[in-house]
């Protein structure tokens, strides 16, 4: 099957550091033929990186190009709704970065797109495609720790102002609910849902330690899932001197630890079972799903509905804390 002719809308950090490393491994499936950024310098730089392709500063010039079959939308979150709608109106297949939308009203409106338009549409939730979490689910489903009953995910870091994400104005002065908590937290919500079922009503506590990086930067979220797993999600961006990303899953017959690219299963009187997973974050895999859906006319794994279900409990948690 021939490569999909792709237009990239947004040439910032996500395009360069996250999406391009996956796309450049799939040159037989995707051909980037045009890129766009409202800042010409960024558009020109990314155009050179991906093969000296044409660049524009108005995304409408990509949408009006009949050669472009599909677009990947890598813009500030508050632009997702409008640019996605215009792209679908133009008949393009769409991959849009997570979170789905800036608020629940726009997210709910985007759910109607799946009935209104006939082209492929998906959300770039790479954690849903990450071999690390796919393998964790396989191990849990096989009964490796018995029946899971609790999960605690600790994500602590110190986002200093020198960090390239902290220097991004639209992230610091965000026009979407939750700032960095929402931007990153939907990843974790996707994994919680994939591993333990739908997220049911919970309660959150939020704080603002460093107002320079947004309205809130610290959250503890306690909730249950439809599979009767009680979960705690600790997400802190101002933990000075402490950096940790560790998911602990308690089961009736053992405990699973997921950290970096390692899955460790601990049981009493049994040597630890440790697996190191070959993973680059799921970016390549999400584009493979996008391609297969376009060329084979099938559903994607991360639909707008799935992304909506990732976003909804997080926004409700933030609002409950307020």
- Quote the pLDDT of residue 298: 85
Same-domain pairing of 292 and 242:
no
Token pair recorded at residue 154: 């600790």
- Quote the pLDDT of residue 26: 98
Q: pLDDT digits over 109-167, tens only?
A: 999 999 999 999 999 999 999 999 999 999 999 999 999 999 999 999 999 999 999 99
Q: Mean of the per-residue pLDDT values for the chain?
A: 97
Same-domain pairing of 61 and 74:
yes
Taking 50 as the pLDDT cut, the residues of the chain under it are: none
Same-domain pairing of 148 and 206:
yes
Same-domain pairing of 104 and 176:
no
Q: Kindly list the distances between the CA atom of residue 299 and the CA atoms of 127, 139, 147, 220, 289, in Å, as whole numbers in the listed order.
A: 18, 25, 31, 34, 9
Residue 232 structural domain: 128-280+312-321
Same-domain pairing of 316 and 183:
yes
Q: For position 269, which CATH number holds?
A: 3.30.360.10
Same-domain pairing of 47 and 109:
yes
- Quote the pLDDT of residue 322: 73
- Quote the pLDDT of residue 34: 98
Same-domain pairing of 82 and 136:
no
Rounded to whole angstroms, the Cα distance separating 247 from 219 reads 16
Same-domain pairing of 185 and 204:
yes
Number of domains present in the structure of the chain:
2
Same-domain pairing of 262 and 294:
no
- Residue 134, in any domain of the structure: yes
- Quote the pLDDT of residue 228: 97
Closest Cα to residue 121, out of 164, 71, 54? 71
- Residue 159, in any domain of the structure: yes
Which residue is associated with the tokens 């950090």? 13
1 DSSP assignment: -
Residue 111 main-chain phi, psi, to 5 deg: -65, -30
Residue 259 main-chain phi, psi, to 5 deg: -145, 135
Closest Cα to residue 312, out of 177, 215, 213, 220? 177
Same-domain pairing of 243 and 292:
no
- Residue 221, in any domain of the structure: yes
Q: For position 31, which CATH number holds?
A: 3.40.50.720
CB 290 within 8 A of CB 278: no
- Residue 52, in any domain of the structure: yes
- Residue 307, in any domain of the structure: no
Same-domain pairing of 173 and 67:
no
Same-domain pairing of 275 and 288:
no
Bridge partner residues of 168 (DSSP) = none
Q: pLDDT digits over 72-122, tens only?
A: 999 999 999 999 999 999 999 999 999 999 999 999 999 999 999 999 999
Where are the extended beta strands (E) located within 98-217? 121-124, 148-156, 203-207
């Amino acid at each position: 099957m021939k490569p999909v002719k792709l237009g990239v809308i947004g040439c910032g950090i996500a395009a360069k550091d996250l999406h391009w490393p996956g796309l450049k491994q799939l040159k037989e499936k995707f051909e980037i033929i045009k890129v766009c950024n409202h800042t010409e310098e960024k558009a020109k730089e990314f155009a050179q990186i991906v093969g000296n392709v044409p660049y524009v500063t108005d995304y409408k010039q990509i949408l009006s190009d009949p050669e472009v079959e599909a677009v990947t939308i890598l813009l500030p979150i508050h632009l997702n709704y409008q640019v996605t709608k215009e792209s679908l109106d133009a008949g393009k297949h769409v991959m849009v970065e997570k979170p789905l939308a800036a608020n629940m009203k726009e997210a709910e409106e985007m759910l109607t797109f799946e009935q209104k338009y006939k082209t492929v549409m998906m959300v770039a939730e790479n954690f849903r495609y990450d071999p690390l979490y796919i393998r964790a689910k396989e191990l849990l489903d096989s009964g490796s720790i018995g029946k899971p009953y609790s999960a605690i995910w600790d994500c602590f870091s110190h986002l200093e102002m020198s960090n390239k994400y902290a220097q991004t104005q639209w992230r610091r002065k965000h026009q979407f609910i939750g700032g960095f908590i929402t931007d990153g937290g939907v990843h974790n919500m996707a994994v919680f849902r994939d591993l333990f079922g739908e997220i049911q009503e919970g309660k959150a506590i939020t704080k603002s330690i460093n107002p320079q990086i947004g309205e809130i930067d610290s959250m503890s979220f306690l909730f249950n899932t439809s599979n009767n797993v009680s979960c705690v999600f600790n997400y802190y961006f101002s933990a000075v001197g402490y950096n940790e990303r560790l998911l602990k899953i308690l089961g009736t017959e053992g405990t699973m630890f997921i950290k970096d690219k390692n899955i460790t299963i601990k049981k009493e009187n049994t040597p630890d079972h440790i697996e190191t997973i070959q993973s680059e974050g799921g970016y390549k895999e999400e584009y493979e799903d996008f391609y297969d859906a376009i060329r084979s006319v099938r559903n994607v794994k991360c639909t707008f509905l799935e992304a909506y279900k990732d976003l909804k409990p997080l926004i409700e948690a933030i609002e409950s804390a307020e």
